[in-house]
Amino acid sequence: MRGVIAAGDAATAAAGQQILQAGGNAVDAAVAAAFASFIAEIGVVHLGGSGIAHLYDPQTGQSLVYDFFSNTPGLNGRSPSSLDFHRVTIDFGATTQDFYLGRASVAVPGNIAGLCQMAADYGRLPLSQLLQPALKLAQEGHTIAKFQADTCTLLQPLYTHTAGMRDIFMRNGRMIQGGDHFFLPDLHGTLQALAREGASYAQTGALAQALLQDQAANGGLLTADDLLHYQVAKLPPIRLPYRNCELLLPPPSSTGGVLTAFTLKLLSHFEMQPRPHGSAAHLQLLYEIMVATNRARPFWDDWCDTLPAAEAIERFLDEGFVRPYVDEIQTALTRQQASPFVAEPPAPKNTSHLSVVDGDGLAVSLTTTAGESAGYVVPDTGYIPNNMMGEADLHPNGFHSRPAGQRIATMMAPVIVLKNGKTRLVLGSGGSIRIRSAILQVLSNLLDYGMRLNDAVNTARVHVEDGVLQCEAGFDATAVAQLEAMGYPVNRWPTRSIYFGGAHSVSRTEDGRLVAAGDNRRGGATAVA
């Protein structure tokens, strides 16, 4: 077997499969799949977004996090007289949420820089070959999946904000629907140029110039210095023992990695076997661990802003800091009384994840996002920028308040699990702050409860929001009722939902086989090469 991949769409997975079959390694496959996802998964990710990737090479024992998340724009720039920055309201059914789009919502993009850097550092095949699956999709178009089309419809005010977007997503007065032929004009030429010129095409070349000219003419903040000085960060992971494995998690700019590490440290203090999966005792423990992490988060936010990253991580994950939260959880479990809930800010919802392991054990966990998109297309490029500067959740001190050039924090947390130095599990998730709860439960399902990977990924999940345990359809009604009788607030979901994340994962089983599982909440697909 050359390798396996799990991703958010069949075309994304097929792109990785094609590259593995052509002799590429896991990095090649991940890069090719990510570029393909910017077409196949157009409802949630775009070329003009950013991401974080996590690599592990068992041959060398080296793990490396590629941080290519967005920076705040505006280096050596002047504020335009009028910002192109507009509010739209999205109706999610149970609630509404405001987003901002336009040129001034665009943060410095990282996808092209990060993916090209990974390919140059670790790939076997040339970039021109890695782009072939995406080029084919761009040239011929693609039958869009229902999940992607439904997401576009949900975000219709963003996807129809300008004439250029309406030409793509609302043809003949009708929003694109699942099964329709999707085509993104001009993107094929953009990808062809990228294949020839590499990352410089988006840093100083024609794509950069087109983006900057549009920004300057229409009230944007991006400058030539923003693109020229943007750097992909290469960082060591957070290493955390868990049961008989070692977990590798991304450091900042990933807030999600640090908070996930804290949650898992809490969980490691409790035996799971006396708490059958899905029982009231199990659900109670998950609730208490999640809300304990929420209570601890303000300390992290403060230390992250005031201390060097390594010192902040060490202090936050120190056993002396963790232990009082363990004691609080134990007290709540004994009293059968819910601990106080502290809300945390949400995070961008539109993310996609893919996981790859090749035959040599090289592993890649990769998460990307574009926010919800900036609501326009750069003329003659097919390039849709991000709206990371328009996400209120990412800017708690107010829009455009961060200094130019500062990395924006993200909840993305691509994770790799090792056992005896070998890749055991590769996972991550989309889904805002539910990224952490999805990763926690897949890990625990596999490592604590011994589930098969597909079951670990697709078994019902929970998440705590506003002090209420959100229970996805599939849990035993008696167990949920028992938890509720203890006084825990519960909301029973009648269906499975994208709300609970999309944890597309790959695992090496105890007997050495590679298996993959797509999360069926978010169009998950797998491919074997």
Instruction: Point out the residues that are catalytic.
Output: 351
Residue among 276, 41, 32, 43 nearest 135 (CA): 32
Going edge to edge, which strands form the sheet with 525-528? 233-235, 62-68, 50-57, 363-369, 351-358, 3-7, 525-528
| Phi, then psi, of 353 in degrees rounded to 5 | -135, 150
Instruction: Please give the Cα distance from 428 to 430 (Å, whole number).
Output: 7
| Phi, then psi, of 121 in degrees rounded to 5 | -80, -40
How would DSSP label each residue in 18-62? HHHHTT--HHHHHHHHHHHHHHHTTTT--TB-EEEEEEEETTTTE
Look-up: residue for tokens 């996930």?
260
Residue 221 contacts residue 106 (beta carbons within 8 Å): yes
CA distances for 133 relative to 22, 30, 120, 122, 314, angstroms: 12, 12, 18, 19, 42
CA geometry: angle 258, 263, 265, nearest 5 deg: 95
User: How much is the CA Rg of the chain, to the nearest whole Å?
Assistant: 22
* H-type alpha helices, 280-355: 280-306, 309-317, 319-335
Element (H, E) at 201: helix 200-203
Residue among 11, 430, 388, 378 nearest 168 (CA): 378
Written as one letter, the residue type at 18 is: Q
Residues in the chain: 529
Which phi-psi region, left, alpha or beta, contains residue 3 (left: φ > 0; alpha: ψ -120 to 50)? left
Residue among 432, 427, 433 nearest 415 (CA): 427
Residue among 496, 338, 355, 325 nearest 428 (CA): 355
Residue 285 contacts residue 326 (beta carbons within 8 Å): no
